[in-house]
Structure 1
């Protein structure tokens, strides 16, 4: 694996950083990325399977729709993603999905019984923008509804290794030689804010209007399940 690059020295705006190192990258890597995303993570699958029949939910930053297909018989989920290429993959799979920015979701207040956002909020490049993304998740869920969020952890037990104290990094995504028309490795860099222990919970507490029900660490990620008050 190629080493990550420190990102907090980039001399560009927060929005431009996300456009260059998140939005544009996922549009380019979407087919290869989708090929690597097919098995639901256990915590997320457990959460979805425990929802009451008839629940209406949103997957914000749904990628290739991996979680939209976990439970199609008795709940209904809609997906959004900032990547047009990933949304097109979802549509080819007959999922309800549209292109949308996580900071300005096209849904009315309290429209859903639940919302999930998996491996998305770590792509926002400031605390203010990360809090705004959480506020949007809570806004679209009804009082009493729940929200599940996963983000990359600074504390990694797997194959990724990050320099201690460096939370903002550019992580390589490599499309190897031989993939379609590529004759040599093609490397893209994605912006990540790595969350330290307790940081995700703190953002939810700062936003307010919700009660944390479960927090934990899973597969090199921190996660939160919270209930809107």
Structure 2
């Protein structure tokens, strides 16, 4: 009986993990962000859960980014996910999530890729506008990141690094309680099934706090 019960639990856990992975692939896909397999691995999902359960406080004492790099990352997150009718990336601690996730689940090469692109964004900001990225206006920050996306003054390698960093920021946002329940549609007690509902480009995707 114990063996059967353990197997049933393992099957249920595996099913829940696959559901979470499919959900996050959809969310990240809707955001037009390229994801890597490591980002949605078992380690990544469990690490994100641990971060959320710690109420967005860092769950280890290791440090990957310098204070200056963390300041730049803070500003990058808010440029990608600014405050609207929902909190910004920094308000749900995405900058600390990125550091936590990179240290917990990602390779040295992936860690270095994020460090390099953060440094490159700051260097370009200083070269073009004589100020660190964090001190630019919101409009200037968005313009610079748009240039990066369009490879204007940036190469394809840097653009790929930025896509990975952006995916981590978005992953952190939508695995937070705020992202799951405010940025996405959420019903604690859903009603009956509706096969067809009106939607447009402003309709939110569906999220479930149970995934986190």
Greater helix content = 2
Greater strand content = 1
Higher alpha-carbon Rg: 2
- More relative contact order, 1 or 2 (CA 8 Å, 6+ apart): 2
TM-score, shorter chain, exceeding 0.5: no
TM-score (norm 1): 0.24
